Structure 1
Amino acid sequence: MDYETIAAFARTYGLVYLTILFIAVLAYALWPRNKKKFDHAARIPLRED
């Protein structure tokens, strides 16, 4: 295995990995079950303790 082979492998599978990670984070953020949790977290700075 030379440098070019390793670099091509890293480019290809790195892109696949980051794309899957992006889709997973996006799905987590937009999942309806998490709405209440995120709405609560969004109001934290506006609370007066």
Structure 2
Amino acid sequence: MERFFNYDTLRAFADSWGLLFLMLFFIGVVLFVFRPGGRKAAERAAQIPLKDD
């Protein structure tokens, strides 16, 4: 009996569903970064290390 998680099975999964997942994740990150109001939040976050305690 052949194991389910052999190289060919995992390779087929990564070629199809893994690629789809990574593409959707990339698109989500890009949309998150370029969302309206994102510039103001990024500028505030960039100033955190420069604030005096």
Tell me the percent identity: 37
Normalization by structure 2: what TM-score? 0.69
Aligned to 2:36: 32
Unaligned segments of structure 1, at least 5 residues: none
Q: Which runs of 4+ in 1 moved over 2 A?
A: 1-7
CA RMSD of the aligned region, Å?
Answer: 1.9
| Pairwise CA distance, 1:7 | 3.2
Question: Which protein is richer in helix relative to its size?
Answer: 1
Long gaps (5+) in structure 2? none
Which structure has the bigger radius of gyration? 2
Aligned length: 49
Q: Which residue does the alignment assign to 1:43?
A: 47
TM-score, length of structure 1 as denominator length: 0.73
